[in-house]
Amino acid sequence: MSTDMMVHLEGVIKRFGTMTALRGIDLKLQRGCCLGIFGPNGAGKTTLLKILATLTRPSAGTVHIAGYDVVKEAEKVRPLLGVLSHRTFLYGRLTAWENLQFYGRMFGIKQLAERITEVLQIVDLLAHAHQLVRTYSRGMQQRLAIARAILHYPTLLLLDEPYTGLDKHAVSRLQELVLHLRSVPCTIIMSTHDLHGGLDLYDEIAIQCRGKIVYSGPSLGSDVQGFEQLYSAYVG
Amino acid sequence: MQKLWSIIRSSIFHAIIMYVSMIIAIYLVFIYAPTEKMQGIVQKIFYFHVSSAITMFFAFFVVCVASIMYLWKDSDWWDAVALSAAEIGVVFCTLVLITGPIWARPIWGTWWSWDPTLTLTLVLWLIYVAYLMLRIEVYDPKRARFAAILGIVGFVDVPLIRWSVEKWRTLHPKPVLIQEGGTTGLPFAMWQTFVVCLVAFLLLFFYLLRERVSVAQSRHALEGLRHEIDEILAG
Amino acid sequence: MRSTRSLQGKMGEPMEKNFWYLFAAYSTIWTALCVYMIRLSQKNKELQAELRDLQAQIARVLTK
Amino acid sequence: MYRDSNSFIALMSGSKVFLQQVLALLAKDLKTERRTREIFTSMFVFAVLVLVVFNFAIGADPELIRQVASGVVWIALLFATVLGLQRVGQLESEEDSLQGVLLALRDRSALFIAKMIAQMLYLLVVVICILPLCGIWFRINFIACLGELCLAFALGILGLSIVGTLFSMIALHTRACEVMLPVLFLPVSIPLTIAAVYATAQLIDGKSLSDISDYLVFMGVFDVVFFVLTLIVFDYIVED
């Protein structure tokens, strides 16, 4: 297994009881690439990302992240991952600072205070660092979630429908951030059902439908119309 | 040879054996076994009461083993076995809890005596009813896993409950009872009858288990089919 | 000591009364098992119905 | 088992990370609790309510109350455990933060250990608060056997926390969590409750430690069995 492949999935199947969420996913992603996974609701995008995030096991098939098996070597994979979903994973009864401090301690980050200041600056929340998170607006919470996701210098960022519930400011912040992270060698996988938001971010795109990757290829750049045609051709 | 094997394995053959052994058991209980001198005719409850109790423990043991296997192998068949055994175990448990008082009333003069085994049975009934409550909803692998954990925990709890209940009983005045348990000093004919009853009950248990597992499995398969059809219709 | 007294009291009662307990015990066992088996067969019947339903659906899909 | 020194070092650093993560989780829980005092308040008020209501149910006979006092105290603790764990579950599931924690954990049993310790601490504070009340209301002299009582309560609370945490993690992932937690938790913890109640009752009666040693050993066995069992199965509970 060459380690310059950041993500390597082979024949991944996931069954939930009698439901089959993923039916044979093969996917390869180079280090430093940004992949956008598009697909309608119920296509299994969240399940795919959950498997990558070691939160759930595949029923069959193998998944390697940076050469580690996500089932057998989950504890080595987890520190590499930054995960952002539409739920923030934050504690409303703690301040932003305390939340980041907690996650920083969990990951054993050295010089934590400097790092927290740094990430809070990136997401523009330093002024509100000592406010309880429950008093934040939805957009602010999501921005803090971004800070939480990148806090421990992850090399693979998994974004599951990250635009849900975001205000304009946060969306543009998130896109800036993705651009910024691409310059750092950071691999990004983003799932979304929104075809219009920042297509030019991705190096590669994949379309997932009913548990299968029906299309994958290089990005079409900012050609929204071309992409829409492609999408409707595959998804229907 | 293969044909013979398939006959032996068939459900109807199993049912016939179960039926015949049950008839023999009933004959032995009512005709063959002598009437006990002290307790009189009610003592005959003993044969089926204790057989149900042992079958119940066996059922819960099966739940525990099947749960471990399910967590280990992640196969739906083991889960179906665990669920089925738990359900049948609760049925036998209920039988023990009903026949216990019916036996206790003429002998001890009270319906309920907090006798250690009966109390243990009651606690087990509560645990495994909780198990079935976990499983009420449609099949969900997460719940199946939780139920498997409860199946293991519940069985591990049995000796602990047994000890504590016995300890607790010694602190209370004992109810009037003539003969503790009833198995000690049984005449040979009674022993024979009891063993046949036990065998008949275990055969009944296996028969029910087999039927219940097949129901669980076909329900599972049907649900899968239904999902697939839904997807074909949608796509 | 209470135990022997109450025993004698019980034993003095007519035999038929105890016979009723025996009858009650065995009939509840029989009833409970019966109810359970009926429930099992009902479940089986439900499954059969569902199967037929599915077959009909498949047939409909195929004719389309 | 660990033949070469490399894996020994890995084990040592692993246990250091484990400890770090347990401490981080614990600090987070206690910080939240210090800010809101939600869990403690609900547990404490509930326990006091149980004491008062039982007091009325039993009647005014002081001798009778003395006899059942230890049972009442343990029932109060049992229900307080259920209540506290329900609150903890709500806090974790509000923004799916449990998932975030799982993503950061190296060994998932750290979560179990941290939650168990937190629950133990809450229960400990509740016990410290209700024992004096109990002593005054039920006219029991707890001070005479304080050391022995500490041991009995420690073992009992530990067991309640272990079993409670196990089932609260299960209830957290199922719908109708409010109903499921007590239904699962109470029957399984019956043996522990029996031992704890009688150990406490005999201590109040002026018996010495050696008289109740089999209860204490039993509680110890119960704690160890469930602790080991939970460590083994915990991965299956938190997996999605």
Q: What is the predicted ipTM?
A: 0.86
Reported confidence tier of residue B63, pLDDT bands at 50, 70, 90: very high
- List the one residue out of A80, A87, A140, A64 whose CA is nearest residue D100: A87
**A75: closest chain D residue by CA:** D106
Beta strand pairing call for A60-65 and A68-69: antiparallel
pLDDT of residue D53: 92
- Domains of chain A in start order, with CATH, are 5-235 (3.40.50.300)
Closest CB to D174 among B146, B163, B168 = B146
User: Which chain A residue lies closest to D13 (C-alpha atoms)?
Assistant: A108
CB atoms within 10 A of CB A3: 11
**CA A145 → CA A77, A84, A135, D65, D90, distances in Å?**
20, 7, 15, 54, 20
CA–CA dist B94, B53 (Å, integer): 10
Burial B35-69 (b: 16+ CB within 10 A, else e): ebeebbbbbbbbbbbbbbbbbbbbbbebbbbbbbb
Q: Please give the model's pTM, rounded to 2 decimal places.
A: 0.88
**pLDDT of res. D15:** 85
Buried b (16+ CB within 10 A) or exposed e, C3-19: eeebbeebeeeeeeebe
Chain C interface disruption, residue of B215, B220, B228, B230, most C CBs within 10 A: B215
Please count the residues of chain B. 235
User: Which parts of chain C have pLDDT scores under 50?
Assistant: 1-12
Q: Which of A156, A223, B130 is nearest to D176 (CA)?
A: B130
For A193, phi then psi, to 5°, come to -105, 5
As given in the structure block, the two tokens for residue B142 are 């997460």
Residue B203 burial by Cβ neighbours in a 10 Å radius (0-12, 13-18, 19+): buried
How much is the average pLDDT of D62-72?
Answer: 86
Tell me what the mean pLDDT of segment A220-236 comes to. Answer: 80
Q: Which among C3, C22, C37 is the nearest to B177, CB-wise?
A: C3
DSSP code for A131? S
pLDDT, tens digit (0-9, with 9 covering 90-100), for A48-73: 999 999 988 898 899 999 889 998 88
Share of chain A above pLDDT 70, in %: 96
Asked if B106 contacts B42 with a C-beta cutoff of 8 angstroms, the reply is yes
pLDDT tens track for D17-44: 899 999 999 999 999 999 888 899 999 9
Q: How far apart are the C-alpha atoms of A163 and A175, rounded to whole Å?
A: 10
Give the chain B residue whose CA is nearest to the CA of C45: B215
H/E segment holding residue A206 = strand A204-209
**Which residue of A53, A94, A98 is in closest CB contact with D103?**
A53
CA-CA distance, D176 to B141, in Å (whole number)?
Answer: 17
Touching partners of C (3+ C-beta pairs < 8 Å): B
- Residue A186 predicted with pLDDT over 80: yes
Most confident of B131-140, B164-173, B201-210: B201-210
Measured between beta carbons, the chain B residues lying within 8 angstroms of C37 are 208
Domain residue ranges of chain C, discontinuous segments joined by +: 2-63
Angle, alpha carbons B144-B150-B151 (nearest 5°) = 85
Q: Torsion-angle region of residue D96: left (phi > 0), alpha (psi -120 to 50) or beta?
A: left
Q: Do chains B and D touch (3 or more CB pairs under 8 A)?
A: yes
pLDDT tens-digit map of D87-144? 888 888 888 888 899 999 888 899 999 999 999 999 999 999 999 998 888 888 888 8
Q: What confidence category does residue D154 fall into, taking pLDDT thresholds of 50, 70 and 90?
A: very high
Angle between helix B141-169 and D146-173 (nearest 10):
150
Q: What is the pLDDT of residues B141-177, one digit of tens each?
A: 888 899 999 999 999 999 999 898 888 876 655 544 4
C-alpha D212/C-alpha D148 separation (Å) is 10
pLDDT at B112: 86
